Structure 1
Amino acid sequence: MVREQFDYDLKTLQSKVIELGSLAKEALEVAMEGLRSKNVELALQVIDNDNRMDDLEEEINELALMLITKQQPVATDLRRIFVSIKIATDLERIADHAVNIAKSTIRLGEKKISVTLEDLEQMFKQANAMLALSIEAYKEENLASAKQIAEMDDVVDELYGKAVREFMASIPQKPEDINQITQLSFVARYIERVADHITNIAEDVFYLVKGKHYLLNE
């Protein structure tokens, strides 16, 4: 009976992490939609909803602590709890970067964007797909999906380098738009960091399944 309750609580912990992943993904999507449409209301929505994710991360940490202190889990269970905490931390950081993108949208104001956002869009598309894959990899304990994430992160890194080079190269031609270009460079950096956090999640899935650490983003 005690084990049944413990298994139920472990499943609840996993469900909360998956919920946090869905919320972080939604925040990222809304933030990017706000950026591309210059919609301040969407940006504010992302900022306002961030507390919900902070609270959920706290719930995850509290449940994990309760399971460790009250149930005396064996090694395999401890690994599952530990990974849940780590993944929740990365997901909360991803949500924070969505907030950062929203704040950049507000700072950009209503002036027409004078440079192409193609690289940013490609970075976001790749990072968003990585995030969906990471949540699935955690849920299904799927190493093939986790491995794929590391390969996708390399693409994001390449796009980031390309985007920043192009933004910097446009400054001499458009010195009056330096604030805009700076904010967009920040957005590129936020998306690149999102991809790094997702790669951390993939590494955690490897640890969950294999019981040892693998570095995927070197």
Structure 2
Amino acid sequence: MRDLEQLHHDLLTMSSMVEEMIHLSVDTLSEPSYEKAAELAAKDDIIDRWDVRLEENCLKVLALHQPVAIDLRRLTTVLKITAELERVADLGVHIAERACSLINGPAIVVPDRLQVMVRSSVEMLHRSINAYVQLDSNMARRVCDDDDGIDELNRLIINELSAQMQANPSCIESALHLFSASRHVERVADHATNIAEDVVYLVEGEIIRHRTHLKKGDITP
């Protein structure tokens, strides 16, 4: 279906823009910049427009073609991935805002683990999109498996920042901003995981979201 192929192309364009935003936003953690934060906010407005465009086109395909089976799964997957990418773009703006809050605040040591977590989270996002492009559910499942490692890194970063706050109370405000930045980066990995789960659904027709917390048949009316 030609309309579906156009949706696929538009989704990849949006994904590329979001990945670029995240790379720019994490750069601000080491070099805070009001100008970069404003640039990211402008890019986020563009992503919002892409989000609306893709949703409208998905609804158009639903109305005109009434897709079934794999085409219907692909359409619903595009809708879900688009929403995840829009939220990742928002996180990019939030990370830059937290970085700007460090400019006039007390000096603080940015944990090395934060950069490690940034690289890993962005790589998860990239691999989740690759899994969609290649229709590779095994790659998508590996992305899901990596989320626990990001959660552990976030916990270690919070512990390290807490130790800095105890040793030097004057840096509490800056540490709290880094707390938020770390949480935003961790959320990027969460959205990458959501995308990967959507890919598994697309390829296998199996819903694995919440699988670690809920067994099949466990829902109570």
Give the corresponding residue for 1:172.
Answer: 166
Check if 1:29 corresponds to 2:19.
Answer: no
**Cα distance between partner residues in 1 of 2:190 and 2:110:** 24
Give the corresponding residue for 1:59.
Answer: 53
Structure 1 stretch 11-20 or stretch 180-189: which is displaced more? 11-20
* Aligned partner of 1:212 among 206, 209, 212: 206
Residues 213 and 81 (structure 1), Cα distance of their counterparts in 2 relative to 1, 3 Å cut: same
1:21-170 correspondence runs (5 A): 21-111=15-105, 113-170=107-164
Amino acid in the other structure paired with 1:105: A
**Cα distance between partner residues in 2 of 1:15 and 1:77:** 15
Q: Deviations over 1:138-166 (max 9, x none)?
A: 11111121012112211111100000111
Give the corresponding residue for 1:3.
Answer: none
Alignment gaps of 5+ in structure 1: 1-6
**What percent of counterpart residues are identical?**
33
Amino acid in the other structure paired with 1:193: R
So what's the TM-score if we normalise by structure 1?
0.93
Cα deviation for residue 12 of structure 1 reads 0.8
Amino acid in the other structure paired with 1:75: A
**Cα distance between partner residues in 1 of 2:138 and 2:112:** 29
So what's the TM-score if we normalise by structure 2?
0.91
Residues 19 and 121 (structure 1), Cα distance of their counterparts in 2 relative to 1, 3 Å cut: same
CA contact (8 A) 1:153 1:196 kept: yes
**Cα distance between partner residues in 2 of 1:190 and 1:94:** 9
Amino acid in the other structure paired with 1:114: I
Give the corresponding residue for 2:217.
Answer: none
Amino acid in the other structure paired with 1:151: D
**Cα distance between partner residues in 2 of 1:133 and 1:79:** 20
Give the corresponding residue for 1:4.
Answer: none
**Cα distance between partner residues in 2 of 1:21 and 1:113:** 35
What RMSD over aligned residues (CA atoms) do the two structures have, in Å?
A: 1.4
Cα deviation for residue 39 of structure 1 reads 2.5
Amino acid in the other structure paired with 2:103: G
Aligned residue pairs total: 212
Cα deviation for residue 20 of structure 1 reads 1.4
**Cα distance between partner residues in 2 of 1:48 and 1:61:** 21
Check if 1:201 corresponds to 2:195.
Answer: yes
CA contact (8 A) 2:106 2:171 kept: no
Check if 1:14 corresponds to 2:8.
Answer: yes
Structure 1 stretch 166-175 or stretch 183-192: which is displaced more? 166-175
